[in-house]
Structure 1
């Protein structure tokens, strides 16, 4: 029986253990699909070693639950696979690894902070802003040192943590955009705090409406809009909250034509930080998986955001935001002209259509491939399209490290 390996993970033969379900083996750069099956004993693994097998593909779903599968994270020579037709680019220096670990820690801390904030607010407790301020200082430092590392970490999502992740991502994007616009550190700090608390009013929205996997009725949409009214009351319990943070929370659904909510502000009544948050809130919501929809690619989200100018969103700021995070933002998924799929690993301000891409999968051959970093500035390849994680149908999460 032949097995497809599109959902399989390539691992080194050295990490193969009993209980894993092998869908293919690689011997002398040739992939053999006829050896599929569960590894039942150590002698079976030894036999593969003796046969010169270096890599195998394993199906995580069909393997024993206690199996620890480690994807191959090595850069190989062009001869290692028919897909690698160019000289591989070395991965980023260890500083990127360290910065990404720090960014991951910051994002995890932010989710914890947001969760505590939600719980304390729900219980009617007075909230001290000091802990969030300390986190905001670290976030700004991380963004200034290595914005790509922060963007790559914040791009990772889990479907069951939308409210937490949305708040953290809005905070990160506000700091990134604010830095691009040249805003000072005290303002960046207030933007970060505002991003963390901006959706706090949703804790008082009916869960049945908030999690409804279908189009809302007009009555349900009016109920959702009440989260901004609830926010007015809730943030009164946050001691030491600055004006900008408060505005970020209360203005992210306002529109330039006055048709937004809760206050129906128009034009210059919405300050810069309010306009920034309107753009970022929509962008992050569009690119996230929700209970009622799959997240879209950055390119698709940009089209929708541009269609909302100039009546709802500030056109000049929208173009600056796109320039800031890039046509293909760091952390987003793209397909190259040779069929490979990768993560946009670092940006290129002088040539935004030619970032560095960390390739790990082939849509053409429907399998994971050896990881290679391709700098499109020096490659004949180009980006064919931006793709959403949901359309890829394989898990890209392990390759963000």
Structure 2
């Protein structure tokens, strides 16, 4: 017997026959039991308003709880870490927003809040690196500058940790990432948010953000040279054709070379008003083409090894057409991570979430890295 209920009434163990939504492109799911809590969360985020359930079919409450406990025990170990990482990201965004507002209002900048935030980023990279990487994939197109600054900080710390830097230097890298684009706050909004290619005159104005950054950085007391170099060198090129100073070769030391790599990677893998995000593997191919004239090839190889060809939180498609996010790396084989599957290219439908360790499933392989634009779906509800 079918009964219509609201999405808020849906619980584990119910048998769903069909869904109703006000969003036309939302596909009807295949009938089945609700075995995992994230399925309910996915339906809510997909705009589902009502559910038709078969009241004659229901998993035993103990079985439903068993399914949930299996999920929690085997693959939800990141749950608590993700909550803590989410709190860090929320606090970081608030701090960066205050920083940008103070710069725009020409108020003095204090170093202490930046140092505390930089230390928190370092500690979280050491304690819950996977959780931070997972959440940093969620971006708000309207807040690009803020999220780009935060992601550059995370990526620099992760990269520096991989290269064996001490924690003090990692903290300075984090601060450098947070302030690396401060000059853009003073760039014309029409140029900064233009949904298309910049004219030569507009690009010259955009490049002024490096000039605008200098006095802001000078006004921050006790700002380290490492943090300054991240900001002032991330647009320099090894062949001398970068800006603002046209530094060349050995004039650009390791910190500057790292920041250039990280800045480009995050920009390529972000959605913007004028372009779609690239997958990490697509971004790496573009970046390899920029060596050795723009980027340092040895450092770029190290960065790719640090991030992984299939980074945590990136979208992949298996050879059988199933799609999901990279959930966890296998350190002894980066090409075969644990994946969280929830969509089928063949059916064009979302499916029950399934976690698969590809290291243990040699019959399965990743066919390609992909992205939401290619698939025409949004996956934020699954992060």
Matching residue of 1:258: 240
TM-score for both structures, normalised by structure 1: 0.81
Q: Flag the 1:213–1:137 CA change in 2: closer, same or farther, 3 A.
A: same
Q: 1:50: Cα distance to partner?
A: 2.5
Matching residue of 1:166: 148
State yes or no: 1:197 paired with 2:179: yes
Q: Is the 8 A contact 1:75 1:90 kept in 2?
A: no
CA distance in 2, matches of 1:293, 1:24: 30
CA distance in 1, matches of 2:163, 2:259: 13
Match 1:50 to one of 51, 55, 68: 55
Q: 1:53: Cα distance to partner?
A: 7.5
The residue correspondences of 1:336-375 to structure 2 (distance < 5 A) are 336-375=318-357
CA distance in 2, matches of 1:175, 1:151: 12
CA distance in 2, matches of 1:346, 1:270: 35
Structure 2 unaligned spans of 5+:
1-9, 34-47
Matching residue of 2:368: 385
Q: Is the 8 A contact 2:161 2:170 kept in 1?
A: yes
Matching residue of 1:5: none
Q: Is the 8 A contact 2:152 2:263 kept in 1?
A: yes
State yes or no: 1:274 paired with 2:279: no
Matching residue of 1:68: none
The residue correspondences of 1:283-294 to structure 2 (distance < 5 A) are 283-294=265-276
Matching residue of 1:137: 119
CA distance in 2, matches of 1:390, 1:289: 9
Aligned-partner SS, 2:294: coil
CA distance in 2, matches of 1:25, 1:389: 19
State yes or no: 1:394 paired with 2:377: yes
Number of residue pairs aligned between Structure 1 and Structure 2: 350
Matching residue of 2:219: 237
The structure with the greater share of residues assigned to helix is 2
Aligned-partner SS, 2:57: coil
State yes or no: 1:179 paired with 2:145: no
Q: 1:361: Cα distance to partner?
A: 1.0
TM-score for both structures, normalised by structure 2: 0.85
CA distance in 2, matches of 1:141, 1:249: 22
Match 2:282 to one of 275, 288, 300: 300
State yes or no: 1:319 paired with 2:298: no
Q: Is the 8 A contact 1:342 1:358 kept in 2?
A: yes
CA distance in 2, matches of 1:11, 1:291: 39
CA distance in 2, matches of 1:74, 1:193: 45
Matching residue of 2:75: 92
Q: 1:196: Cα distance to partner?
A: 0.4
Matching residue of 1:217: 199
Aligned-partner SS, 2:54: helix
Q: Flag the 1:371–1:27 CA change in 2: closer, same or farther, 3 A.
A: closer
Q: Flag the 1:282–1:73 CA change in 2: closer, same or farther, 3 A.
A: farther
CA distance in 2, matches of 1:104, 1:321: 24
Q: Flag the 1:294–1:24 CA change in 2: closer, same or farther, 3 A.
A: closer
Q: 1:52: Cα distance to partner?
A: 2.9
CA distance in 2, matches of 1:257, 1:317: 16
CA distance in 1, matches of 2:369, 2:73: 23
Higher relative contact order (CA 8 A, sep 6+): 1
Root-mean-square deviation (Å): 2.9
CA distance in 1, matches of 2:316, 2:121: 27
The residue correspondences of 1:111-126 to structure 2 (distance < 5 A) are 111-126=93-108
CA distance in 2, matches of 1:131, 1:15: 51
Which whole-Å deviations, capped at 9, do the CAs of 1:287-326 have from their partners, x for residues lacking one? 1011111111111100010000011100000000000010
